[in-house]
């Protein structure tokens, strides 16, 4: 591959350019970052919601009264959001800061 800043030939896995000092940074898109936070929030909320699962089997109520469909949908949504966020990761080259 070539350095997009100066055109210097680089190895495919190069993270910086020896000629112009540009560095490659990996980042998510702004939407990806936002969705990532959303996914983390849902995951956290569901972790709290799922906490009773640790004790419910030992109570008289059992886990049959647990809202499984809601819980599973939430887990799927959180996983989907986090997956989408991860899929927006891309690398860009930035010029050396003087």
Name the residues that contact Zn ion, by CB under 5 A. Answer: 3, 5-6, 8, 17, 19-20, 22
Task: Report the nearest approach of Zn ion to the CB of residue 90 (Å).
Answer: 19
Q: How far apart are CA 75 and CA 43, in angstroms?
A: 7
Q: Which residue, 14 or 82, is less far from Zn ion as judged by CB? A: 14
Q: Shortest Cβ distance from residue 6 to Zn ion (Å)?
A: 3
Q: Minimal distance in Å, beta carbon 24 to Zn ion?
A: 10
List the structure tokens of 94. Answer: 């930035």
Q: Count how many residues are written for the chain.
A: 98
Distances (CA, A) of 20 to 7, 11, 79, 89: 9, 15, 40, 24
Residue 21 or 52 having the CB closest to Zn ion: 21
Judged by beta carbon, residue 46 or residue 93, the one nearer Zn ion is 93
Longest dimension (CA), the chain: 70
């Amino acid at each position: 591959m070539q350095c997009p800043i100066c055109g210097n030939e680089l190895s495919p896995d190069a993270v910086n350019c020896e000629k112009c000092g540009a560095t490659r940074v990996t980042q998510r898109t702004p939407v990806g970052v936002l969705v990532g936070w959303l996914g983390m929030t849902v995951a956290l909320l569901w972790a709290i919601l799922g906490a009773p699962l640790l004790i419910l089997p030992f109570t008289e109520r059992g886990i049959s009264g647990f809202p499984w469909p809601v819980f599973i949908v939430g887990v799927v949504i959180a996983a989907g959001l986090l997956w989408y966020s991860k899929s927006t990761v891309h690398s860009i080259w930035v010029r050396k800061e003087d």
